[in-house]
Structure 1
Amino acid sequence: MLKWALIFLVVAIVAAIFGFSGIAGAAAGIAQILFWVFLVIFIVSLVMSLINRPT
Structure 2
Amino acid sequence: MITLGVILLICGFLFNIPVLWTIGIVLAVVGAVLAIVGGTGRRIGGRAHWY
Normalised to the residue count of structure 1, the TM-score between the two structures is 0.64
| Structure 2 segments unaligned to the other structure (5+ residues) | 43-51
- RMSD in angstroms over aligned alpha carbons? 1.6
Q: Percent identity?
A: 21
The structure whose residues are more often helix, as a share, is 1
CA distance in 2, matches of 1:22, 1:30: 14
- Structure number with larger C-alpha Rg: 1
| Structure 1 segments unaligned to the other structure (5+ residues) | 1-7, 50-55
CA distance in 1, matches of 2:18, 2:4: 16
